[in-house]
Chains A and B, each alone.
Chain A
Amino acid sequence: DAGITQSPRYKITETGRQVTLMCHQTWSHSYMFWYRQDLGHGLRLIYYSAAADITDKGEVPDGYVVSRSKTENFPLTLESATRSQTSVYFCASTSGALNTEAFFGQGTRLTVV
């Protein structure tokens, strides 16, 4: 099915553990994004990628690592999870043209205990 999918949908991990959130899109969109959603803050950009092997920091990149070896995949890794990283994470993609719609995954709810 065409679209953008995130996995897992829910994840509980312990402080200090490494965890990777997956994102896969089938449109061959150039741009992909990772956001975190927290109450009162809306969506904040963590990292984005303009193409395979091109990534850049967003507003809140500390504690996160991304890679993009293939156009369709954009995994987000928390190297050593902290409780402050408990959040809902959204992956999104766009074709890259201005004023075009961003397509969002359904989100991953991550709890760090």
Chain B
Amino acid sequence: AQSVTQLGSHVSVSEGALVLLRCNYSSSVPPYLFWYVQYPNQGLQLLLKYTSAATLVKGINGFEAEFKKSETSFHLTKPSAHMSDAAEYFCAVETSYDKVIFGPGTSLSVIP
């Protein structure tokens, strides 16, 4: 069965520091991988998605993620955190048209 784990339900970083949010997946077939962001009192919106064209994927707002098949990981990074990055981040894996599995989410706090 497919699953997604996100290490750390809450991450705090200082403004300007590196952001690293971890995502590991298990899948019996090559997955499609996504990161979504949820700002307070809003729905989720796509941050980036993995395509087989490149292992390093760039998304909106300066975020990027690297797909590592050997580690079954798709960690999200941003070189320099901004206050506006404070939100909930969800990793998701899609293995068929009707099966999108979301991780439990990581809440990111940015300290001024």
A-B contacts at CB below 8 angstroms, number: 51
Within the complex, the shortest CB–CB distance from B42 to chain A, in Å, comes to: 6
A90→B98 contact, CB < 8 A: no
Question: By the criterion CB–CB under 8 Å, are B97 and A42 in contact?
Answer: no
Task: Check if A40 sits within 8 Å of B43, measured CB to CB.
Answer: no
Instruction: State the interface size on chain B (CB cutoff 8 A).
Output: 22
The contact size tier of chain A is 20 to 34
Q: Which residues of A contact B67 (CB under 8 A)?
A: none
CB of B89 to closest CB in A, whole Å: 11
CB-defined contacts of B41 to chain A, threshold 8 Å = 106-107
Known contacts A40-B9, A43-B102; is-contact A99 B32 (Cβ 8 Å): yes
* Nearest CB of chain B from residue A3's CB, rounded to whole Å: 10
Q: Which one of B14-22, B45-53, B70-78, B79-87 contacts A? A: B45-53
How long is the Cα–Cα vector from A42 to B101 in the complex, in angstroms?
Answer: 10
Q: Residues of B contacting A42 with CB < 8 Å?
A: 90, 102-105
Residues of A within 8 A of B (CB): 31, 33, 35, 40-45, 48, 50, 56, 90, 92, 96, 98-99, 101-102, 104-107
Interface residues, chain B, CB within 8 Å of chain A?
9, 32, 34, 36, 41-46, 49, 51, 90, 94, 96-98, 100, 102-105
